[in-house]
Amino acid sequence: MYSFDIERPTSVADAVAALADEDAQALGGGQTLIPTLKQRLAMPSKLVSLSGISEMKGISQAGDSLTIGGGSTHGAVAAGAGAYPALAALAGGIGDPAVRNRGTIGGSLANNDPSACYPAAALGSGATIVTNAREIAADDYFQGMFTTALDEGEIVTAVTFPIPEKAAYVKFEQPASRFALVGVFVAKFADGVRVAVTGASEEGVFRWTEAEAALSADFSADALAGLSLSGDGMIGDLHGTGAYRAHLVAVMTKRAVAAAG
């Protein structure tokens, strides 16, 4: 590690002010940032910890939507998002107990790792990402691998999820990290079905629109028969080729539909 300053604001306003300083960087749960600092892949001179901001924590339901504070840990989401069982189950499957105790939903969405689970939940649910400055629809928020619509110094303060009629998340995980080699989140709403895929594409999380159209007409695994994706543009690494991941997308989508019932 190297030398840096750290501030621990207790309000969103104070955090935003601290992040206005040159070379300051927000620190959520630190599950991605701390390893990055250790490897010198990032070297900010000041970290602004968000862990002490109580207004960014908590889970509340209003009608058919669930709002989760950006500072809520994965463990808190797993335990407290019972109104949205698929989301609670997804959170409970992230990493290990140590990661779930520290990592936050806001930090995960701000980082937008191409193999992270929450981006699939947000995009698959048609969630709204709430920041200190505005509200951003999930369809506009994710802009590529490790890239989002967030401006410099903007903080994810909460995420609002519409609660669907049915939903499920299924992932084929890398056993050591529990990141998704491919993860698929399927959500059925009254006006149609959304299917979001993580872990597969070089562009990050994406919606599989052909599957959405088929499932909106017939919400069953059989409706996906004959549908497939090209391996072009899919991630290829030591864990599998692009064609392999494309195949897994179809398999995981069928399993997610079956799990959603």
| Cβ-based neighbour number of residue 180 at 10 Å | 28
Q: How far apart are CA 261 and CA 250, in angstroms?
A: 17
Chain CA centroid to CA 27, Å: 17
Contact yes or no for 107/32 (Cβ under 8 A): yes
| Claim to verify: residue 194 and residue 223 sit in the same structural domain | yes
| Claim to verify: residue 156 and residue 254 sit in the same structural domain | no
| Claim to verify: residue 178 and residue 203 sit in the same structural domain | yes
Average pLDDT for the chain: 94
Does residue 1 surpass a pLDDT of 70? no
| Claim to verify: residue 36 and residue 85 sit in the same structural domain | no
- Give the per-residue pLDDT at 168: 98
Give the number of residues written for the chain.
261
Q: Tell me the average pLDDT across 81-95.
A: 97
Does residue 2 surpass a pLDDT of 70? no
Q: Which domain holds residue 43?
A: 5-49
Q: How far apart are CA 182 and CA 97, in angstroms?
A: 21
Rounded to two decimals, the pTM is: 0.95
Signed CA dihedral, 189, 95, 136, 62: sign only: positive
pLDDT classification of 119: cutoffs 50, 70, 90: very high
The CATH number that applies at residue 89 is: 3.30.465.10
Q: Tell me the average pLDDT across 17-23.
A: 89
pLDDT in tens, 227-249: 999 999 999 999 999 999 999 99
| Claim to verify: residue 80 and residue 136 sit in the same structural domain | yes
| Claim to verify: residue 58 and residue 157 sit in the same structural domain | yes
Does residue 42 surpass a pLDDT of 70? no
Signed CA dihedral, 32, 250, 259, 159: sign only: positive
| Claim to verify: residue 61 and residue 153 sit in the same structural domain | yes
The CATH number that applies at residue 212 is: 3.30.390.50
The CATH number that applies at residue 36 is: 3.30.43.10
Quote the strand ranges of the chain, DSSP E: 5-7, 24-27, 46-49, 59-62, 65-69, 128-131, 135-137, 142-144, 147-148, 156-162, 166-173, 180-189, 192-198, 206-207
Q: Tell me the average pLDDT across 107-125.
A: 96
Indicate the number of domains in the chain: 3
- Give the per-residue pLDDT at 141: 98
DSSP class of residue 6 equals: E
| Claim to verify: residue 87 and residue 173 sit in the same structural domain | no
